[in-house]
Every structure is written in C-alpha cells, then in structure tokens.
Amino acid sequence: LAVCLLVSLRVLLVQSGAATSSQSPAASVSPSLPPLVNDPSWPLGVRLYQALRSDPGSVNTLFSPLLLASSLEALSEGSAGKTAEQMPPSGTKEAVGGLLSVALESFVKANGTSFQIHASSCVFTKQAPAVGQAFAKEIQSRFRLQHRTLGKGDAKADLRQLCQWAEAALGGKEGAPLEAEIKAKAGAMVLTNALHFKGLWQRELSEESADRRTFLGKKYTKVTMMHRASRYRFHEDVDNMVQVLEAPLWGGRASLVLLLPFHVENLARLDKLLTPELLSKWLERTAVTGVALSLPKANISSSLSLQKQLTSLGLSDAWDQKAADFSGMSDKSKGKLHFGGALHWASLELGPTAGKEDADLEEENTERPKLFYADHPFIVFVRDDTTGALLLMGALDNVEGELLHDEL
C-alpha cells in the first residue's frame, strides 16, 4: 500500500515543487545538435555500455566514451596486423584520429565554462621495452595520453600505484572502490582513464528549489530532489515508453541528456533498446517545450576493469603476449608489449550550481508543462555540443540516502 501511495502521489508532488520556480526566467534554447552516428565515441560508448550492463550486478555505471576511444585510438596507431584490425574504434585511422583529437581539444577548452572537470589518461608499462620518444610525444600531443612506468613491486603495489594516479587525476577525489586484480607481467601495458565532471546548469537548479522526497531505485531512499520549470528540448517516445530531455549547460558548450522510462522500473528494458541510430532519432525529434523538471541531487561514481568487456567487443589479440603486435610503439616491442589491464574511473555530480544563469533573460511561458519527474532510474549522457562527441555515458540506478526498503 505504501508503495502504491508513493507512486500515485508523484504528479502532485512535482507540481507543488515546480510551482515555486515556474515564473523563473530561462535562457533561450539553442538548436539541438544530434549525435553523429559516425563519431567514434558514440558506437563504442553504446556497445560498451550494453556490455557492462549485461552484468546483473552493474549499479550506477559510468564511463567516458571519449577518453576511452581516444586512448584506444592512440595505442592502435602503434599496432599492426590483426591487433590493429581489432582495436576499436573502427574506421580509417586518419579520420577517426582527427575526430577524436578535435573533440578532446574542444572538451578541454570548455572546462570552466559549461562544466568543471578533472580528467587524465595514461598508459603504464611494466618492465617493457622503452616506448619510442616520437611515439610518446605524438600520443601526448594528439590524444593527451601520457606514458608512465609501473614500479618493480608485486600486483598489490601496481594496483596501489594505479589507484593513487586515479585519485590525483580526479582532483583529489577518491573514486569508487575498484574490484580488480592487476597481474602485470613483463611487457604489460595498463591503460587508465579518469574523469570527474560537474555540469554548470544554464537553467539554475538551486538549493532553494530542493526538498526531500523518495527515489524509487534498486533501493527506496529518501533523497534531495531539485526542481525547475522552464523550457527544454523534450521528446516522448510512446512506443518505447521513454522521455528524452536535453538540459543545456551554461555557455552552450555541452548538454546533459536524460532518458527516463515512463513508469517506475529498472533499466534493463531501456538498456537493450539503445543504438546510436535510435539515440540520434530521439534527439532529432526533441522540440522546445515547457517542462517541470525534477532531478535527484546525486553523485554517480564508477570504477571499472574493462578487459572482459573489451574482449567481448572483439579486442582479443592485444591481451595475448604472443599474438599482440604493438611494434609501432617501439623497435623492440613486437612479441613483448601487450595489454595487461584497462581501468576506468568516472564520477558525475548532479547538484545545484548557483550564480551561472544569465541575469538579463526573457521570462518564458511554462503553463501546463510536461512533467519530467526523475524519481526512478534513468540513463544519462553528457555531449559536447561543439563536436557532438560523447563525453560521458551512464545510468543512475540508486541514490544514497535514508533507506526505506528494497524494491527494484
């Protein structure tokens, strides 16, 4: 009975929460930039997301397709033979590398405007042939991929060094616990990416418009919900029972895209639907609409070991010391250099950001707004609106808070 009451009262709650902000001004909404289905970060992102989500224990998954795609492309330029054929993302190296390099540059330049980030990528080698100076300089300048060496310690020492690197890369913030073992043999390479992201809202979600409500996730918890009635790009796919909302970040350099099922459910159904083509179609069909938006204040944090998933996507030879061919990285690397791990740390803050909204804005009509009440699991993207690249992709299954009871 309690669950039924919670669900049935949701519409009344969002109307009361949004009413206080329905007359707030909002910035004009720029035309939507649909994702480029040929952009290498989108196909890799969607495929990897579905591989990760196929694990029943996957909760609050989050990663950066752009950072991972860029790093893999950098290493692929030092590979040859079958190894090169299997390295994602696919496409001609010149075209793929150019797109990713431009997207990375745009991403870095936007820091402090649309968002605040700490990000880094590195490849660690263990007792391996020296990586050529020219190659190391090339991957650093084009793909921002650093090269470092692991110490001579055991697996625990290696993992400790990698986690310390990640904490520094995340701006001193400790990532989610990493449940992985690194057994780096001589010649092993461990690829690492780390990203902490906090978006700066163009339409301010402030503490003044927040209250305590229930998030109906894998656990029912009492959380802070933030509200704002304004005009956003919005689409409802009735056939697939999903709402699509695009929330611009300040300065117009990036957007937060949310996919919310119509009803309270886990994300298994929606996860299986996703393709770059369908995502592109949804975003192309969004239109500027008055929306009463309610979002939980939450931190999504994920630490991932990606060997199993990357292997399932076709990257197999790179992990085999005898089969791997990274001869382009060093004159002596053939038959020695190989993948020993791929670790990924990511965190996303969903919270209020005061003081970023333009003061001189026209008041917008939000009478009879559509309701986007995100009190249950949803999928989130962060997209670079200059290049269309996919900066972040993930799912919010659960929000930390006072526990009511398990449900989903």
pLDDT tens, 310-339?
Answer: 999 999 999 999 999 999 998 665 558 999
Under the banding of pLDDT at 50, 70 and 90, the label for residue 145 is very high
224 and 99 fall within a common domain: no
Convert the pLDDT of each residue in 156-176 to its tens digit.
999 999 999 999 999 888 777
Tell me what pLDDT residue 132 has.
92
pLDDT value at 398 more than 80: yes
Asked if the model's pLDDT at residue 93 lies above 80, the reply is no
The answer to whether residue 228 scores a pLDDT higher than 50 is yes
pLDDT of residue 204: 77
Q: What is the 3-state secondary structure (H, E, C) of 108-129?
A: HHCECCCEEEEEEEEEEEECCC
Same domain, 312 and 327: yes
Please tell me whether residues 241 and 157 are part of one structural domain: no
Which of the 8 DSSP states describes residue 249? B
Higher-confidence residue of 353 and 184: namely 184
Q: Within this chain, do residues 115 and 256 fall inside the same structural domain, yes or no? A: no
Domain containing residue 238: 2-36+204-297+365-406
Neighbour-count burial of 251, counting CB atoms closer than 10 A to its CB (0-12 exposed, 13-18 middle, 19+ buried): middle
Q: Domain holding 225: CATH number?
A: 2.30.39.10
Q: What is the pLDDT of residue 267?
A: 97
Q: Which long-range contacts (CB under 8 A, 24 or more apart) does 205-214 make?
A: 205/293, 205/295, 205/351, 205/352, 205/353, 206/352, 206/354, 207/352, 207/354, 208/20, 209/17, 209/20, 209/21, 210/297, 210/352, 211/17, 213/13, 213/17, 213/375, 214/6, 214/375, 214/404
Q: Is residue 54 part of a domain?
A: no
Is the same domain home to 224 and 281? yes
- Both 308 and 334 in one domain: the answer is yes
For residue 352, is pLDDT > 90? no
Are the C-beta atoms of residues 249 and 201 closer than 8 Å to each other? yes
Of 179 and 322, which is predicted with more confidence?
322
**pLDDT score of 91 more than 80:** no
To the nearest whole number, what is the mean pLDDT of the chain? 86
Q: Which of 20-24, 190-194, 289-293, 393-397 has the lowest mean pLDDT?
A: 20-24
- pTM of the entire structure? 0.88
| 173 plus 255 within the same structural domain | no
Are residue 146 and residue 118 in the same domain, yes or no? yes
* pLDDT score of 251: 87
- How much is the pLDDT for 57? 87
- Which residues, 6+ apart, have CB-to-CB distance to 230 below 8 Å? 21, 24, 26, 203, 290, 291, 293, 364, 366
379: in domain? yes
One domain, residues 182 and 107: yes
* Mean pLDDT along residues 288-314: 95
Q: Is pLDDT at 373 greater than 70 in this prediction?
A: yes
**Residue 398 Cα distances to 64, 75, 128, angstroms:** 20, 35, 42
Is residue 191, in this structure, part of any structural domain at all? yes
Nearest to 349 by CA among 171, 168, 165: 171
Spatial distance between the Cα atoms of 310 and 88, rounded to a whole number of angstroms = 9
- Domain total for the chain? 2
- Specify if 242 maps to a domain: yes
Give 8-70 as a DSSP string: HTHHHHHHHHHHTTTT---PPPPPP----TTSTHHHHHHHHHHHHHTSTT--S-EE-HHHHHH
Decide if 353 is inside a domain: no
Report percent pLDDT > 90 for the chain: 65
Same domain, residue pair 224 and 257:
yes
CATH code: domain of residue 176: 3.30.497.10
Residues 391 and 275 in one domain: yes
Q: Is the sign of the CA dihedral 348, 352, 355, 357 positive or negative?
A: positive
- Considering the domain boundaries, does residue 58 fall inside one? no
Tokens representing 264?
Answer: 């309270």
Q: What is the mean pLDDT of residues 117-131?
A: 94
Residue 7 pLDDT level (bands cut at 50, 70, 90): very low
Closest of 192, 148, 188, 189 to residue 169, by C-alpha: 192
Q: Is residue 43 part of a domain?
A: no
What's the average model confidence in pLDDT over 198-216? 81
Domain membership of residue 51 (yes or no) is no
Judgement on whether residues 98 and 138 belong to the same structural domain of the protein: yes
